[in-house]
Amino acid sequence: MELHVERDVLFPAEPDEVWEALTDPERLEEWFATEVELDPRPGGEGVFRWADGEERRAVVREAEPEERLVLDWDDGGEVVLELEEVEGGTRVHVTETSPDFAAALELHALAWAPVH
């Protein structure tokens, strides 16, 4: 059964900071996965590893800096992140579709906080 999750998350940071947290491997390692390799350009590949040994691979389908990032997971799922500057920060609209709901990006998103 395919699962579809949508959520809006508001971050108290500018779009460029949020974009960096979503695309810079070192920043991703702070809040999402234990070890990250990511080339955040269309066609770029990503590898996400967690402490429990789980590994997920993705290919970047779309990357519009500070606006939109789309990853296609190797299990057939996808995640779409759309950034919008709003009063008080940046709203990220997350849409994730996964045939096998594993470590969903949206579930980890609330753990991220900007570094000042």
Confidence grade of residue 75 (pLDDT, cut at 50, 70, 90): confident
Q: CA dist 78 to 17, 50, 92, 113, 115, Å? A: 23, 19, 16, 23, 27
| Minimum mean pLDDT range among 11-15, 20-24, 85-89, 112-116 | 112-116
* pLDDT reported for residue 45: 97
DSSP bridge pairs for 9: 92
**Which domain range does residue 97 map to?**
3-109
Q: What is the CATH number of the domain that holds 40?
A: 3.30.530.20
Q: Is 114 among the domain residues?
A: no
Place of tokens 């590893």: 49
Number of domains, the chain: 1
Distance CA 71, CA 89 (A): 23
Helix or strand holding residue 26 (H, E)? helix 25-31
| Phi, psi torsion values for 40, nearest 5 degrees | -80, 50
pTM, rounded to two decimals: 0.82
Q: Is 75 among the domain residues?
A: yes
